[in-house]
A and B are shown apart, each in its own frame.
Chain A
């Protein structure tokens, strides 16, 4: 047996093997912890944005007026942010798992802790109004961000089901306006019998949401005109 220890010590000396510095292990552990915390924060912001965008999708208002609730739900779920949130949960889990004592907590327990922390923090962040600003910032900085992440684009781009949105290209006489939808289709909207919400100004370039029904090729009869932004009572109040 002494032979083995001699062989090992000889190898260590001959190959000049040195212990890896303690700082290296401390650094690795710190990086994993930092990444874990960052993932929890990003996950929480992602979840807060998911709630914000879900609310913005108008599903709570539309749910009573549609038959296919499931379809609307699928349309209204902010898929990208939800996927990103799940990704942060998974990466956060892996970061924690590989910390020094990360294996002590079972997979299920750790996953539940991760998810509940992200949900609770997400609700907190949402109640502070942070997602609105983050969403605005991202929309300004990232091209096509809004179209990709905001469920309103999907919900309000279904003219056959009575949901249309876009920006006003021009106003015509006889209560008609030309609307360019977000997928670049031009619609002539009849607003003669539409209820117009207080926050809508009906000016050129304004983004609006229109409820009603198609009455012909490129023709839409509006029953209600809503502002694109804003969900508050004041914004949505019916103009008297």
Chain B
């Protein structure tokens, strides 16, 4: 009976939106488990995509992201998407990791994290579809960080422009122009280096 009740509660919580779970978290830390469950995989991949760190380092960063998110949970504005808010924290944490390490860490050739290229049905753009994970990874690594950040959020995290704007704290117009220019630069790099990378 007790187990059944717990399962019902779990199912109920799983049906809630992120913002509604955040409300619960304020009174019950255990509800935070659902937020972590929803985002740990996505954020772990995201961190590895922007930093090229090994899984263990990425998990350490991820832990800090969730701790920081919990500490600052009251700064989340319910009018906006929770995903943008937590991606922003992840992005900041990744940047701060990069600064602390001063770029002195071993990069890992985990190409499979770039294999999951979004389908055309999600994003009407095919500039990535003919490339393999390894090529995408290496070309992205050659791009300036500002272009890499927006391209990853747009084409791997499948975010809308306004969500990227909220995640990176830059105007939507800037997001659009960075994506446009980033794609052009990406295509130039593909032509230049192709499969020789």
Contacts and interface: CB of A to CB of B under 8 A. Distances in A.
Given A7-B63, A9-B30, A19 B40 contact: no
Nearest to B79: A101
Contacts of A104: 165, 171-172
Contacts, number: 64
A103 B84 CA distance: 14
A67 B70 CA distance: 69
A153 B70 CA distance: 60
A21 B63 CA distance: 21
A22 B77 CA distance: 10
Given A12-B67, A19-B71, A19-B74, A103 B36 contact: no
A1 B169 CA distance: 29
A17 interface: yes
B21 to A, nearest CB: 13
Interface string B18-41: 000000001001101100110011
List the 10 closest A-B pairs by CB distance, nearest first.
A103-B169, A5-B36, A22-B74, A25-B75, A106-B171, A8-B66, A19-B73, A5-B33, A19-B74, A4-B40
Interface of B: 26, 29-30, 32-33, 36-37, 40-41, 59, 62-63, 66-67, 70-75, 77, 165, 169-174
Interface of A: 1, 4-5, 7-9, 11-13, 17-22, 24-25, 100, 103-106
